[in-house]
Chains A and B, each alone.
Chain A
Amino acid sequence: MAREMMFAEAIAVAITEEMQRDPSVVFYGQNMAMTDRDPFVRKFGKDRVRITPISETAELGIAVGAAMNGLRPIVELYMAEFMLVAFDEVINEAPRLRYMSGGQVKVPCVFKAGFGFAAGWAGQHSNCTYHAMMGIPGLKVAVPSTSADAMGLMRAAIRDDNPVVYLHHYMLTIDKGSVPEGEHIVPFGVADVKREGTDVTIVATAWMVKKSLAAAEILAKEGISAEVVDPRTLAPLDVDTIVQSVKKTGRLVLVDQAPRHASAAAVIAGEVAERGFEYLKAPVKMVTALDTSIPYSEPMEKFVLPSEEKIVNAVKSVLTRQAAAV
């Protein structure tokens, strides 16, 4: 039995149910839990649910220290860019301490943030920063594209004994999706084939999965069968599933909302070039944001970002081996 849930709701349900299950899970951040009427405060009290000042370094550093002393903190950061203020804690503290201690401590925490808000939020609030996090040994990165994956990955993130950056795309917030009943968990490091196909593999994350599925519909009407693979987590990254798909289709298009050299697409392309070269019938094609910051005005914002049309053109170019202006 499945239930329909909005993307953001699925995440909130996962957090609520995990906090009910495990009293060591705590949840805090700016501009939340302001009053006793807040639903999380009503359920779990003011020890476990708190409001913080605008102090990302302290918020994240406190999560690291609390995690070392028996709690499992979830920090609500709202936007991935706000993690940049405290990037030392994300990149050089949380994932390092277990290793440097020779395995004596663990740092179970979840840094939750929305990202990619391409709705006029402009240069500092619309970015995709996961490239800087996905290659850090000891740090895990989750990027769900559906309500079911959002719930399953949040549960897995909370139960994981490692620091996890949980990124939920803003443009998916109110999208409804089917979520399995019960304790639905999605393991890290397992990609999901969102649409089966035979002519081309499209690898995409978050909002780009939605655009890729729409592009696949358009392509299907023209007799082109596209397979859409969603990695779901960028660290650990399931390269095997992607390579198996490329083995089947022989062609690869990577869609990423980040700019070219700061994209997960570039990393995955490198992996496939090394591990799946013999299966490729055409060069890979990356559909990414152009090399600009995200502009405010709508026609410019649309111009810079990947679109269904750009994805369709990229697929056609790898099928004909022509360099298409994408």
Chain B
Amino acid sequence: MGASSTLSNDKLKWMYTQMCRIREFEERVKRTFVEHPGVIRGHAHLGDGAEASIVGSLATRQENDLVMPSYRCHGYPLVLGTPAKALMAEIYQRKTGICKGFGGSMHLADPAHHFPTASGIIGQGIAHAAGAAYAAQVKKTGQVVYSFFGDGSSKQGAFFETLNMAAVWKLPVVFVLENNEYQAYTHIKLEDANAIAGDPLSQKAKAFSIPGVTVDGTDPLKVYDVVSEAAERARAGKGPSLIESKFYRFSPHGNAITVPPVPTQFQEHEAIEVYGNKAEFEAAKANDPIKKFRTHLIGAGVLNDAEARKIEDFVRSEMDEVVKFALESPLPAPEDALNYVYA
């Protein structure tokens, strides 16, 4: 019996709400490129499709646990309590953004809500998460650090070095490898020896003699089960674990890379755009984690259809306000750029 069987109805409803909030937020970011071109600059990466994996993981947290995702970071602070307005405003380059316009989509940060920073360099944040866990260990804070990264980063030196050191030092960290089978435009079977051999990526844990488990990342309760076990292990001083959470991202890697003045948008997923595999994409869409969880909760009597629709309406109107706030917020003063170089 997994730990998720003890979740209260309130917690389950909260989980469903957070999953909807992530999806709606990401949809609004995507729509901004069409409805308000130029408002979002550079490169934005969306987590639509990751909702069950994100929420299922974060639902296992204790109050002071830290969360360190990659640059595909919008969903995590939404769940942690960062005001969605501040997140959207940051992505919209505004002074009212959570980073005052200094970071943008890839570099959101809210240490007050246990989300210190995100790095835009694939894989490097894995080491930062282990470092935060080392501090927790030395200072005996009882914190666990959740490190989220994609399958693409699991070939980076930082992944191997960090997991080894975390294992040797028995650091209180949970490594969640989010396997959506695409690294930017590259399919995993072009670049991962385990995947090519038909082996799960969780097998990489064997290189460090730590537990490795693969989970269906489209089911928030299954994710909750394995992540809470890993978090308990970490909290008990037994060291790190590797969780391979499998799901599909519904958007391409990021908005198309263009050079101004060429406008940019989100195009089709790489499955279609690069590999011509529409069937794979359609199958993944049909396996939408939010639809599945909704059905499950109604079937389990946690929600009825009207209550679910009420949540969905609430989320939509929340995000209406969020976009309005961000659009109406001022840009930073140009000379603000001189702040925060040194502490």
Contacts and interface: CB of A to CB of B under 8 A. Distances in A.
Given A58-B164, A138-B341, A68 B102 contact: no
B79 interface: no
A67 B107 CA distance: 18
A102 B343 CA distance: 11
Interface in B9-47: none
B132 interface: yes
Contacts of A57: 124, 127, 157-158, 161-162
A52 B343 CA distance: 28
Nearest to B103: A100
Nearest to B171: A62
Contact of B116 (A24, A26, A68, A108): A68
B161 A55 contact: yes
B77 to A, nearest CB: 12
Interface residue tally of chain A, by bracket?
35 or more
A105 B117 contact: yes
Contact of B131 (A66, A102, A106, A161): A66
Contacts, number: 156
Nearest to B140: A47
A70 B139 contact: yes
Given A53-B164, A58-B165, A88 B124 contact: yes
A101 B124 contact: no
Interface stretch (B93-101, B187-195, B196-204): B93-101
Given A55-B162, A102-B101, 14 more contacts: A26-B138, A53-B165, A61-B126, A61-B128, A65-B129, A65-B131, A66-B134, A68-B111, A71-B139, A99-B102, A102-B103, A102-B340, A104-B112, A137-B341
Interface of B: 66, 68, 97-103, 107, 109-112, 116-117, 119, 121, 124, 126-139, 143, 157-158, 161-162, 164-165, 168-169, 339-343
22 contacts: A55-B162, A55-B165, A57-B127, A58-B130, A58-B162, A62-B162, A68-B117, A69-B66, A70-B135, A71-B134, A73-B131, A93-B119, A101-B102, A101-B116, A101-B117, A102-B100, A102-B102, A102-B340, A104-B110, A104-B112, A138-B341, A138-B342
